[in-house]
Amino acid sequence: MRTATAYATPSAKAPFEKTTIQRRDLGPRDVLIKIHFAGICHSDIHTGRNEWGEANFPFVPGHEIAGTVEEVGSEVDKYSVDDRVGVGCMVDSCRECTSCLAGQEQYCLKGMTGTYGSIGADGRPTDGGYSSHIVVDQDFVVGIPEGIDLDKAAPLLCAGITVFSPLKHWGAGPGSKVAVVGMGGLGHLAVKIAHALGAEVTVLSQSLSKQEDGAKFGADHYLATSDDATFEELAGSFDLIINTVSASLPMGKFLSLLSLDGTLVSVGAPSEPLEVPAFALIGGRKSWAGSMIGGIAETQEMLDFCAEHHITAEIELISGDDIGDQIDAAWDRVVDSDVRYRFVIDTGSFA
């Protein structure tokens, strides 16, 4: 065992505290990563505040990890010391089921091993990226291309892949009309990636307060969902809607914005159930789908795509002496939709 410095919350409503955690000794195929930066995903908050059920405490969140390789196991052949690498939401899977064999490890039929909140290869609960170091099997490590700063790359490991995967799967590209609902961490990257794929992009946000930013990220149109006229104006418009909202929405209203055969993909994961009136789907042969992160190979493809198109996250960096207080404040601001557009923790300063 080796130790790492981390920030953990001891219970669902408690502030973050600096702590020491254990990381397993390197197995032959393991990589020891010095974590330089870790993004704050809304999923960290849903988990840490018990919104998705009882979490394991003390809880070390973080599944948007960017760092460098510090040490490698004897059989590691994909990475070398000092390589720039990333880890997202999963650190292992069964590797044998149809999903894993199809490169869709996130849908492992036996359940993928989460970067936090799972049981790891050593039989102990996994701790996430709000920490100085992590040990991960090389097959669940991706390379971060030169040309992308590590701090702005970290959010790509969850937010980026979570929107890239459905945009690609449902064919966003030239000639397609894509709406992004909610312009937070996932949403702002969805705008950038959909634009880079060549789609016509519309942001549907609660208000027009971030309209200028939306245009900078590549949105062609930006409308407020607080205005009922938006739903009249855009009825039947979109081939694809990516719903990134962390709270429950009136799904029927949003489905009315799809064109014939259009698909609304929910990636936002509110704790409350989402309700869909049957006629919202029947009229117009519409589909309502879900999507969860992406496979490892697809995550690498996304990083390479982002490097090629100069796409990174817009970040607010958390650094300095009062990291715990800053994480607490950042979580509150994310919940208040007051994030521009991803908080990233300077974990490189921990140890």
Given the rule CB under 5 A, which residues bind Zn ion? 41, 43, 158
Told to check if 43 binds ligand NAP by CB under 6 A, we report yes
What are the two backbone dihedrals, phi and then psi, of residue 159, each rounded to the nearest 5 degrees? Answer: -55, -45
Q: How far is the CB of 158 from Zn ion (least distance, A)?
A: 3
Alpha helices by DSSP H, listed for the chain, are 42-48, 98-101, 150-153, 159-169, 185-197, 211-217, 228-233, 251-255, 278-282, 296-308, 323-335
Which of ligand NAP, Zn ion, none binds 42 (CB below 5-8 Å, type-dependent)? ligand NAP
- Which residue in the block uniquely carries the two structure tokens 């205005």? 227
Which C-beta is closer to Zn ion: that of 41 or that of 334?
41
Which C-beta is closer to ligand NAP: that of 72 or that of 189?
189
- Select from 153, 14, 16 the least CA-distant residue to 86: 153
Site for ligand NAP in 204-233 (CB under 6 A): 205-206
- Select from 150, 167, 181 the least CA-distant residue to 37: 150
Judged by CB under 6 A, the residue of 9, 202, 246, 326 near ligand NAP is: 246
Which C-beta is closer to Zn ion: that of 26 or that of 45?
45
Told to check if 182 binds ligand NAP by CB under 6 A, we report yes
Q: Are 303 and 148 in contact (CB under 8 A)?
A: yes
Q: How far is the CB of 81 from ligand NAP (least distance, A)?
A: 31
Q: Are 123 and 192 in contact (CB under 8 A)?
A: no
Judged by CB under 6 A, the residue of 4, 6, 41, 265 near ligand NAP is: 41
Which C-beta is closer to ligand NAP: that of 34 or that of 46?
46
Report the amino acid identity of residue 31.
Answer: V
Q: Are 153 and 303 in contact (CB under 8 A)?
A: yes
- Rounded to 5°, the CA angle 312-318-319 comes to 120
Q: Are 116 and 61 in contact (CB under 8 A)?
A: yes
Q: How far is the CB of 195 from ligand NAP (least distance, A)?
A: 16
Judged by CB under 6 A, the residue of 26, 97, 208, 269 near ligand NAP is: 269
Q: How far is the CB of 276 from ligand NAP (least distance, A)?
A: 17
Q: How far is the CB of 341 from ligand NAP (least distance, A)?
A: 7
Site for ligand NAP, rule CB under 6 A = 41-43, 46, 158-159, 162, 182-187, 205-206, 244-247, 267-270, 291-293, 334, 337, 339
